[in-house]
Structure formats: structure tokens, C-alpha cells
Amino acid sequence: MSNDQLQMLQTQTPEEGFELAVKLAQKGVGVTQPSEEIRQTLRPVYSRNPDSLIATSQVIAIHFQTIAAANNYWRVWSPQYW
């Protein structure tokens, strides 16, 4: 994934858009908690917490919704075009 995609939100496919959404969520965590050591310490706690996992999915979904709107996926990838 290129830095250009991170800046422009442009992707070729919905799958690439989803990968970009995940990358944005990961970068958000890195900005919020810049210490790799602390993130590694906390990972066992949140990785087993259903509420934390659901919250992570929500963040990715919101990013994907934004990327999909920027790429007009709903129109371009709708069933009428298949």
C-alpha cells in the first residue's frame, strides 16, 4: 500500500479499500499510543476482549465507509454492473 493511497483514499478495488481501512485503523493506534512496548503489553488484554474486538471492527468499518464513498464503490460495484 502506497503513501499516496493513504493521502488520497483512492483504491482500484473494494478489497484494496478494505486493506486501506485496516491500515488507517492501525496507524490511528500507533498515533494514539506511540510506544511499541506498551502496545505489546496491552495486546493480550484487548485481543481477548469481545468489546475491544467489536470496537476495532467498528473503526475499520467507519474507515471503509469513508473510502467507499471516496471511490464511489456503491455505484461502481453494485450488482447491476456484474
In this predicted structure, what is the pLDDT of residue 82? Answer: 46
In this predicted structure, what is the pLDDT of residue 28? Answer: 95
Give dist(CA 40, CA 21) in Å, integer. Answer: 22
CA 63, 39, 30 angle in degrees (round to 5)? 40
Q: Exposed, middle or buried by CB within 10 Å (0-12, 13-18, 19+), for 23?
A: middle
Distances (CA, A) of 82 to 10, 11, 15, 63, 65: 21, 19, 16, 25, 21
Closest CA to 64 of 12, 8, 25: 25
pTM (2 decimals)?
0.79
What residue ranges do the domains of the chain occupy?
A: 12-81
Average pLDDT score over residue span 52-79: 87
Tens digits of per-residue pLDDT, 17-61?
A: 999 999 999 999 999 999 999 999 999 999 999 999 999 999 999
